[in-house]
Structure 1
Amino acid sequence: MSKKKIFRVEAEETIDHCLNRMKDEGYVPVRRMEKPVFEEKKQNGETIHVPIGREIVFEGKKVT
Structure 2
Amino acid sequence: MKKRFMVTEGETISQCVERMKSEGYMPVRRMEKPLFRETATGPECIGSQCVFEGKWIRRKGEQ
TM interval, shorter chain, is 0.7 to 0.9
Tell me the residue number matched to 1:52. 46
Residues paired across the two proteins, number: 58
After the TM superposition, which parts of structure 1 deviate over 2 Å for at least 4 consecutive aligned residues?
none
1:32-52 per-position Cα deviation (integer Å, ceiling 9, x unaligned): 11121111111xxxx322211
Code of the aligned partner of 1:38 = F
Aligned equivalents of 2:32, 2:56: Cα separation in 1: 21
| TM-score between both structures, scaled by the size of structure 2 | 0.81
Bigger strand fraction: 1
